[in-house]
Amino acid sequence: EAGVAQSPRYKIIEKRQSVAFWCNPISGHATLYWYQQILGQGPKLLIQFQNNGVVDDSQLPKDRFSAERLKGVDSTLKIQPAKLEDSAVYLCASSLAEGPNTGELFFGEGSRLTVL
Amino acid sequence: AQSVTQLDSQVPVFEEAPVELRCNYSSSVSVYLFWYVQYPNQGLQLLLKYLSGSTLVKGINGFEAEFNKSQTSFHLRKPSVHISDTAEYFCAVRKRGGGADGLTFGKGTHLIIQP
């Protein structure tokens, strides 16, 4: 079974530029999450989708971050304009809404962003 | 809301010695509990999870954890560590019942295995 796919793996940009990250969840997983992991810290939830609807975006800095999951499958996370403090690994995860493995999130390898 | 406290940011252990990584959580609702491991430049990999039933859960690579509801703890243990266990370990909780149920992570514990 293919895992969660993310791209690009690495991105270096200058502050005030924009960047976009893409995620393709495990086939059949209705729920998709974006996390931000700053060096030395645990991942922090940015946004949760259920199919193509937003369930929780309470921790998303909406003045510069946006995310969409238009067809309920893959998702894009955008940052515009980027700040130095946005340097982090952006992790995408997916899960089944229900079933025997309810509870477990499956993570991609992440997209590492460096803002100069 | 939930919160997770990992009491040790770093734990150095000699190879083949036992180890315990401590995790306490706070939540006003019932939760699932998880331990994830992260090797350098890799994503998060599930070690083990507590959903229900027996409070002692066994995971991959010889790890186990015990859920203690009264102490709101979920400590991770391994009887004999190997050099390959060097990694960052994250404890996490997830609200039961769907809805806004993203994982809440602790800050992580860096396990350092010394030869």
Instruction: Supply angle C-alpha B70, A101, B100, rounded to 5.
Output: 70
Count the neighbouring beta carbons within 10 Å of the beta carbon of residue A92: 26
Using the beta-carbon criterion (under 8 Å), do A105 and B94 form an inter-chain contact? yes
What CATH number has the domain bearing residue B59? 2.60.40.10
Q: In this complex, is the C-beta atom of B90 within 8 Å of any C-beta atom belonging to chain A?
A: yes
Question: Domain residue spans in chain A?
Answer: 5-115
Which one of B44, B60, B105 would you mutate to disrupt binding with A, by most A Cβ within 10 Å of its Cβ? B44
What's domain A5-115's superfamily in CATH? Immunoglobulins (2.60.40.10)
Q: What is the pLDDT of residues A50-72, one digit of tens each?
A: 988 999 999 999 999 999 998 88
Kindly tell me the sign of the dihedral angle through the C-alpha atoms of A36, A38, A43, A45: negative
Each residue of A71-103: pLDDT tens digit?
889 999 999 999 999 999 999 999 886 655 566
* Number of domain units in chain B: 1
